[in-house]
Amino acid sequence: MTVSIALFDLGHVVLDWEPSRLYTKIFDDAAARDHFLGEICTMDWHTRHDAGASFAENATSLIAQHPQYEGEIRAWGTRWMEMFDGYVDGTAELIERLDARGVPLYALSNMPSDPWEEMLAHFEVLQRFRHVVISGDLKMVKPDPAIYRHALEAIGGPEPETVLFIDDRESNIAAADALGFATHHFTGAAGLEAALEAHGLL
């Protein structure tokens, strides 16, 4: 079947998100920052946000274990937007070109629910997506096959072979492959542009 729909991941594909960007402002010492991100506010801990935990409840349980870091832990939620630096180079322009051609655009992202409305207002390109599936709303995360099936239903039930799924994580790509999606492992805008052209979307 011909690919006719583009389904984007957001973090590290569309949006330039790095927690260290915020914590470089909070910690004067790089080693202390790296220790905090590697041992306290880890990616495993953050995944609970993606799976539906609120910033407040997830902070509370971690603060109980590390009370000396209360301010730093709470900053993850209260200063969330400071982790972003606009868009990943070149991707927003590709989305605008796809939109101009009338390609149906959707997104499927492991993302907390709490900040989504603020993000939608702040990042104009997100408004080009016809629908965005946010993991925190569903309380399930990629690469769980159930969230891919939900995404297909949410965008009208197309055959997965007609959907090009774009993600930077190989585990997420493998899960989509297993369900029959067309896929592109994102490593940069140039590679994505070539993939979009190969599928006839650009």
What are the backbone angles phi and psi of residue 167, rounded to the nearest 5°? -150, 155
Rounding to the nearest 10 degrees, give the CA dihedral for residues 116, 119, 121, 126. Answer: -90
Alpha-carbon gap, residue 179 to 136, rounded angstroms: 22
**pLDDT, tens digit (0-9, with 9 covering 90-100), for 78-108:** 999 999 999 999 999 999 999 999 999 999 9
Domain ranges of the chain: 5-16+85-198, 17-83
**pLDDT, tens digit (0-9, with 9 covering 90-100), for 11-35:** 999 999 999 999 999 999 999 999 9
Q: What is the pLDDT of residue 118?
A: 97
Contact (Cβ atoms closer than 8 angstroms) between residue 169 and residue 109: no
Please give, one letter per residue, the 3-state secondary structure of 53-88.
CCHHHHHHHHHHHCHHHHHHHHHHHHCHHHHEEEEC
Please name the fold of domain 5-16+85-198.
Rossmann fold (3.40.50)
Q: What is the pLDDT of residue 76?
A: 98
pTM: 0.95
Quote the percentage of the chain above a pLDDT of 90.
Answer: 100
Closest CA to 98 of 193, 2, 1: 193
Contact (Cβ atoms closer than 8 angstroms) between residue 77 and residue 59: yes
Q: What is the pLDDT of residue 100?
A: 98
Rounding to the nearest 10 degrees, give the CA dihedral for residues 46, 49, 55, 60. Answer: -70
18: its two tokens: 């790095």
Strand partners for 167 = 185
User: How many H helices and E strands in the chain?
Assistant: 11, 7
**pLDDT, tens digit (0-9, with 9 covering 90-100), for 149-183:** 999 999 999 999 999 999 999 999 999 999 999 99
Please give, one letter per residue, the 3-state secondary structure of 101-142.
CCCCEEEEECCCCCCHHHHHHHCHHHHHCCEEEEHHHHCCCC
